Amino acid sequence: MSYEASCYQSDLAPRGSILRPPFPLIQPMPLANNRSGKRNVFARTNKYNFRDVTRSNLKDRQDSCFDLMLTQDLLKRNFELVPERFSVGGLSYLVELVVRVIEGYMLDPEAKDDDLAIATVKSVGSFEKRTLITGKSVADVAVVFRGLPSAEAISSFGNCIASKIMEFDSFFDVTCQTAERGFNIVGHMATVRVIVCTLPSNYCKVTPEYHMDLKTLFSNSMTISHTRWFEQFASHPAVRIIVRVVKDIKSRYKGFDSLNPWMIEVLVHYSVTSIPLCSTIVGLAFMRFLMLLSSNALSPVSIGLFDPCNAATRIHGKLSLEEMNSIRQTAQFLLNLMAIGGHKLVLGLDKCSYDVTECGISLNGFSLEPIVPLINEENRDRFDRYLYLLKNKRLPSDNDSLNAQLASQSAEEATDQACCHSPLPEAVSSVPPVDESETIVPVEVESI
């Protein structure tokens, strides 16, 4: 089985192989065994028969000074973004308390509501994936119920968990707050978001008046699959470093607001696994990530990347046209900024009090204009009509234009062939015909 087929397999739902953007890319190499006997996901060979247009002259760039400097600055920025020890310790202790109390509630022999019967509990999200950044003391815990609890039952369950936590540790004061995806256990310096999930067999029983929204329930259930996939296939240190840095960039630039953590993780994993393994893999993969975004990899006309946990959807399927265009323009601006020597400003090593993508910047004798949105109220109808025609397959594709060209050429050849076999028409002259009855008198020309 190939690396792609084995990498994107799910225990919960069938997963399709990752689908590349509409340009040729280097295929990941198959798995190999290292000296320790474990399977190395990032094993590579020296045979690359595919040419990637977004990675021109990559072999010449591997030992360049810029890539070495970019890799060192990325590692430095990652060291700054790693949460401090005491904040992670407090959050870890609160997560352990919440999981322990919920497991005790699950094994409690006392009679309880059937809808509140718990199937499993698991820590998910950035805290479990170890991609948490400093300043974010929030962790996620997914609780899968066997039944379909109502909103009131979820609220009472949250209050019960909060009270049992305070009984277990009297010095730990927590409160329960109702949220859209479940409820939050809020402590003094940390917060645990409890995500409510249910079994797939209960989706058909959802009532909008009493239960949580069906889309929210499905999204909550997918967080478990995302965490399992990341732990199994994306546990390389380079993936975690770039994911952490990209999350920080997203918080500083408004154009990346629509990028969710799952999209970032899949794109970063693909960027790392689609380039050769070298000493500057962190810097090259980071550049590769921005190149994917700037080359319309997330656009309605692009094939993009299939969701590895849900083969029926793409990772950018829920983005609007404005959000896709904003991501592309922001990535292009950041690449241009890095080209004129502003990579430290992009990474956040050089602090800036404003968003340079909205105000523009002048650096090293170059000036970058602020981003102007491509889609506005005036041309919005035209883009909507274009997308409508595109979805209904009414726009001519390259094959259609080629077929039309061949059809026109064949029609011309058929016309020429018909003209060759048809009798020639009589010549038409503007000179009137000569009447044979008249006598023609020759005219003598005098010599000069």
Domain ranges of the chain: 46-81+240-368, 85-231
* Domains 46-81+240-368 and 85-231 fall in the same CATH topology: no
pLDDT at 20 over 50: no
What is the dotted CATH code of the domain comprising 46-81+240-368? 1.10.1410.40
Tens digits of residue pLDDT in 99-128: 999 999 998 877 577 788 999 999 999 999
pTM above 0.85, yes or no: no
Tens digits of residue pLDDT in 348-363: 998 888 889 988 888 8
pLDDT the model gives residue 439: 46
Contact 388, 292 (CB under 8 A): no
Nearest to 142 by CA among 201, 109, 95, 177: 95
Tens digits of residue pLDDT in 272-328: 988 877 778 899 999 999 999 998 888 877 777 889 998 888 888 888 888 988 999
- Residue of higher predicted confidence among 418 and 67: 67
How many C-beta atoms surround the C-beta of residue 135 within 10 A? 12
Tens digits of residue pLDDT in 88-99: 888 999 999 999
The three-point CA angle 68-71-73 to 5° equals 110
Q: What is the mean pLDDT of residues 164-173?
A: 86
Q: Is 15 in a helix, a strand, or coil?
A: coil
CA distance 150 to 207: 9
Q: Is 279 in a helix, a strand, or coil?
A: coil
Contact 294, 287 (CB under 8 A): no
pLDDT at 63 over 90: no
Dihedral angle over CA of 166, 169, 171, 175, nearest 10: -30
- What is the token pair recorded at 117? 């019967």
The sign of the torsion formed by the CA atoms of 32, 37, 41, 42 equals negative
Nearest to 273 by CA among 26, 83, 24, 10: 26
The sign of the torsion formed by the CA atoms of 41, 45, 50, 54 equals positive
At the second CATH level, the architecture of 85-231 is 2-Layer Sandwich (3.30)
